[in-house]
Structure formats: structure tokens, C-alpha cells
Amino acid sequence: MVIGNAGTSEETVTEFESVFTLEATQLKFGAGAAEELGWELNRLGLARVILVADPRLHEFGLIDRIEAIIAKAGVAFRRFEAIRVEPTIESLARAVDFCAEHPADGFVALGGGSTIDTAKVCNLMSVHGGRIMDYVNPPIGGGKKPPAPLQPLICLPTTSGSGSEATTVAILDIPELRVKTGISHRYLRPTLAIVDPELARSTPAGVTASAGLDVFCHAVESYLSKPFNQRPRPNTPDERPPYQGSNPVADIWSRQAIAFSGRFLRRAVADGGDTEARGTMMLAATMAGIGFGTAGVHIPHSCAYPIAGIRHSYHAPGYAPDHGFVPHGYSVIVTAPAAFRYTYDAAPEKHIAAAELLLGCPVENPGPETLPAAIVALMRDVGAPSGIAALGYDETDIPAIVAGAMRQTRLLAGAPKPVTAGVLETILLESLQNW
């Protein structure tokens, strides 16, 4: 498909993409699925693994349980548990150094998105070496592509949020630059996600709320992203980005994750013992991960990285009280109403469909405010902060947030409408308080 700029003496032709790919992590879901970890390790022929685990899970006996399963399978292991919520270059470097001291032929990740992302970076660096910043997305890092596949990585998520068990991305914080960014390549995609609802019983309500809002934002951003066939065709298949734009297959996963968020997130936050709600939100997280892992995210996530990276004064309910930071789900959701208000006219029918999936019913007289209003209602019901002001920001901080967001070029390329610094400024001003 080609288009030309009419009215010019010399026609400018852009060739658009006509191909999309779907590469998905293998998924094993259900109560008790964690007990099959040993069988999966043996199936993959692994003899020695690194268990990357969230140390807070000791309190609930989960680490001992998983270690017993690994040992029973006859697989040797070493445990790394110096996990930082929202990993930094320094925390990842410590993990990489540990793995260099204890060579293994595979990895197991037990925890939330921070734990799984740490395992992804350990896997990458164990196989290919170099500096972490070599692989960080440009323009912040070198954007180096790993030249060959990594070792097997099995993920057992314990929160219902990041979807990292199904994505090609590892997110990290660079405090000296006051920005979050990531490493993205198809080789980072985990081999297998074992999603067991019983592992999420212990998650505090505040963590469930933030994680669940991240699920929703992943799904709706990918569903509303620029269609794959409106993006330039890459020169080679190797240059086709992991985030390719919305497409008919990714939309299926994203739509279901939106619907599950509307039906189950409020219940999952209200009652940790509601295993149907928490389990379904865990499944939604993985489904959203498959959707956005193919289609991509855009404006809310671009804004979220500087929102999380500039200030660390917010103390979120359910998280460690001595660690000031903005949980990822909150950093993305606070700008979502304004972002989707801006993108509405790029695809009104999809915005309305997203709102109806979230609400679980048709909407009378829909319009640009339908989806933002539905999102605000969900935010209020699960106890989310009302906007970026509640996270410690005011109008004087907006230029710095805009500058950080504009550096997320990989994400902004997927927005369904052009995004300028002025557009982001307007979105952020509207997001100071959503109610």
C-alpha cells in the first residue's frame, strides 16, 4: 500500500506495513498449576537454574514451596532475591553479577513484574554479556539487539498486573536521568508462564489495585494503538519492532482483558480470598501482555515513565512504607482519561467499544467522554490516586514530565494520533486531578 503527497512536484511515497506477527509465551493456567513446574523443568532439559524470587514471598511460604518443587524434580538451583520494586540499573547489575558467579542453563522467576523483569535482564546478560545500557532502548540507551535466543525462562507471577510473563520488555529506572525506560526485544519473551491463582492470595489490596489498573491500561492502549498497516514497512523482518500496532489478533486478547478488568478488578481489590476474581485478573494480565506485547502501548505509558522517575515521595498503600515511589499501575492510569479523550477522534468506534467492554453494557449517547468517565469510575472504586497532583506533582513539574515522555519515542510511535510536546502538556494539565 502506498500513498503520495498530492500537489507536490515530486511525489513522496511511503510504503506501509502489510504484515504483523504474533509470538506468544506458552501459557499454563489454573489453580495448582505451580505444582507442574518440576515437570516443565524436566521437559526443557534444565539441570541447573537461577530462581529469581521476591523476598516478601518468604512470609507466605511460597519460596520454600517452589524450591521444594524444583528440588524434587532433581534440578539444582541458586536463589537470588535482592529484588528492588521498580528495578534500577544498580539493582539489575547486582543480579547480573550474581548470575555470573553461578552459571545456569535456565531461569525461574517467582514474583511480580519487577522480579520477572530482573530475571529477563539476567538471562540476557548471562548469554550475551556487555553493559546493561548497551541494550536499553534508544535514545536513552544503545538499543543493541541480542544476536541469538536466550536460555529458557519460566515465570510464576504472584500479582495480577504487569503481564511481564508474556512480554518482550524489561522495565528499569535510571534515577540519575530521572526517567524509566526499558529493554525490548522478542528474545526477552519468557518461554513459559505458569499462572496459578493460588499464588496471588497474599497480595495486598493496594498492590492488586495498581497492578489491575496496569492490566487495563495495557489492554486499552494496545487496542487503541495505531493500526499495524498504518506504520512504515521495515527494511527487513529483523527490523520489525515488537510493538507493531493494533491488529485483529492482538485485539482479541486486548478486548477480553478489558472486559475481565471491568468484571473482576473491583472484586479482586475488595477480597483477597476471592480466587475467582484474583485468578481471572491474573489471566487478564497475561492476555493483556500477549495483546500489548504484539500491538504496543503509547501515551499513558510514555508519561508514566517520567512520572515514576522524577519524584519518589509517594507512599502507596500495600507497598513497603519505607520505600517512596509511584507504582507502575498508578503512574499509567492517572493520564489515561485525558490521553483517550485526545485520541478519541482517531477511532471513535473502538473507544466506545472499550468503554462498553469495561462497563459490561451498551452506552447511550456515547462520545469523547464515555471512556474517560468509565476509567475515572474504576479508579475511584479501587482507591487509585486522583491524578498526578496526588503523586506529588504540580504545574511547575509538567515541563520535566513532558521532556521525559518525549524521549519514549518507541512508545509514542504507536499513538493513533500525532503527539507533540504541546499535546502532552495539555494531557498532563488535565491529569493533575481527574476528580
At residue 13, the pLDDT reads 54
d(CA 72, CA 66): 10
Average pLDDT of the segment spanning 3-8? 38
- Which pLDDT score, from 0 to 100, does residue 175 have? 80
pLDDT in tens, 215-259: 999 999 999 999 999 999 999 998 898 899 999 999 999 999 999
* 337, part of any domain: yes
The confidence score (pLDDT) of residue 10 equals: 42
User: Are residue 80 and residue 191 in the same domain, yes or no?
Assistant: yes
Domain count, the chain: 2
Contact call for residues 263 and 360 (beta carbons, < 8 A): yes
* Assigned domain for 19 exists: no
Domain assignment of residue 216, given as a range: 205-430
404 within a domain of the structure (yes/no): yes
Domain membership of residue 25 (yes or no) is no
**Inside any domain, residue 8:** no
Looking at the structure, tell me whether residues 169 and 214 fall in a common domain: no
Together in a domain, 47 and 183: yes
Angle between helices 248-270 and 370-381 (to 10 degrees): 30
Tell me the pLDDT of the chain averaged across its residues.
92
pLDDT at 111 over 80: yes
pTM: 0.88
- Same domain, yes or no: 168 and 41: yes
What is the percentage of the chain residues whose pLDDT exceeds 70?
A: 97
Where among 164, 183, 200 does a domain terminate?
200
Angle, alpha carbons 100-135-117 (nearest 5°): 65
pLDDT at 101 over 90: yes
Residue ending a domain, choose from 177, 200, 223:
200
CB 327 within 8 A of CB 384: no
Q: How confident is the model at residue 85 (pLDDT cuts 50, 70, 90)?
A: confident
More confident residue, 416 or 6: 416
**Does 397 or 239 have the greater pLDDT score?**
397
Do 301 and 426 lie in one domain? The reply is: yes
pLDDT reading at 5 higher than 60: no
Same domain, 83 and 214: no
Does some domain include residue 338?
yes
Pair (217, 318) in one structural domain:
yes
Q: Is 78 within a domain?
A: yes
Evaluate if residue 67 carries a pLDDT over 80. yes
Q: Is the pLDDT of residue 406 over 80?
A: yes
pLDDT of residue 188: 95
Domain containing 74 — which CATH number?
3.40.50.1970
Mean pLDDT of all residues in 72-99:
94
Q: Is residue 71 part of a domain?
A: yes
Percent of the chain with pLDDT over 90: 77
